[in-house]
Structure 1
Amino acid sequence: MSGHGSPDQTIPHLPQARVAVVAASWHEQVMDGLLAGALRACREAGVAEPTVLRVPGSFELPVAADRLARSHDAVVALGVVIRGGTPHFEYLCAAATDGLARVALDHGVPVGFGLLTCDDETQALDRAGLPGSREDKGYEAAAAALVTARALADWASPGH
């Protein structure tokens, strides 16, 4: 479990921020938990109505995030890929990860990385922010995007 060493960051108050959450649809129970966590973080930041876009799977996250990054201050990408018996897992995880990093760099917009890459469904459920889960990666991904959006806005303000 990778939660050890994570930063203790306070979610900033960003009521004017335009935040988008793009979420895959595969593994409905896990995705429902991740999405709920991300939306909870948005509410804590004062973001009343984040844009929510559902896509079929994790491979579609980068193209959706790219489009949303053009009109939003932060994007949160949520998905889950569970290892199977073929190399598909490695290809899909690499493509989605590389694509999301490219979106962030191409647009200069924080992209919260909420893509779970797990060996089995038990690991995914344990990270999904559901009752009994040990981690809430949807919340953490949204918090990272929001904290980064605040840091970038502060840096761009006069005097920096």
Structure 2
Amino acid sequence: MSGAGAAVVEPFDASGLRVAVVAASWHTVVMDGLIAGAQRALADHSVEAEVIRAPGTFELPVVAAALARQGYDAVVALGVVIRGGTPHFEYVCSAATDGLTRVAVDHAVAVGFGVLTCDTEEQALDRAGLEGSSEDKGYEATAAALATARVVAGLGSTWPER
């Protein structure tokens, strides 16, 4: 079952962190839910963040990298890819996952992975944090990014320079 065993991140004051949310533009209803979840998590952690829209999920890594270069402590990446009848799904999912991982590691910045990779639109809606959804992946990805940024900040000079 998806979501089983998810970590619980208790909200903390993250008001000192510089955070951006980058969100894909496809699947508007799902994306609106993910963004709303991210905004709830930001509010719970006393953080204000800019929301930047990317054309699609494939484009999330390059926007996240640009934000990391600008000195953000955390970047939350939100997107959704729904399986179709071609290999396109695998290519986009792989590129987004690999690209966002590379941003996090190359720039030593917390990256919240809020990219839904679903077989159906119904699965995406169920994870989007909408009324009736069983999960709120926008909130979860944001809370994880903030918690990771707090850990990275605590590492001080032992962490590689950005």
Fold-level match, TM-score > 0.5? Answer: yes
| 1:119 equivalent in structure 2 | 119
Map residues 32-111 of structure 1 onto 2, 5 A cutoff: 32-48=32-48, 50-70=49-69, 71-111=71-111
Q: State the superposition RMSD in angstroms.
A: 1.3
Q: How many pairs are equivalent?
A: 157
Q: Structure 2: any 5+ residue segments left out of the alignment?
A: 158-162
**Counterpart Cα distance in 2 of 1:135 and 1:55:** 23
CA distance in 2, matches of 1:9, 1:44: 11
Question: Where does residue 150 of structure 1 map in the other structure?
Answer: 150
* Structure 1: stretches of 5+ with no match in the other structure: none
Once residues 136 and 47 of structure 2 are traced to their aligned partners in structure 1, the CA distance between those partners, rounded to angstroms, is 19
Which residue is equivalent to 1:140?
Answer: 140
* 1:61 Cα offset (Å): 0.2
After TM superposition, give the deviation of residue 92 of structure 1 in Å: 0.6
TM-score (norm: length of structure 1): 0.95
The one-letter amino acid paired with 2:51 is V
Identity rate, percent? 67
Deviation, 1:33, is 0.2
In structure 2, C-alpha distance between the alignment counterparts of 1:96 and 1:43, rounded to whole Å: 27
SS at structure 2 position matched to 1:124: helix
Q: TM-score, normalised by structure 2?
A: 0.94
The offset of 1:8, in angstroms, is 1.4
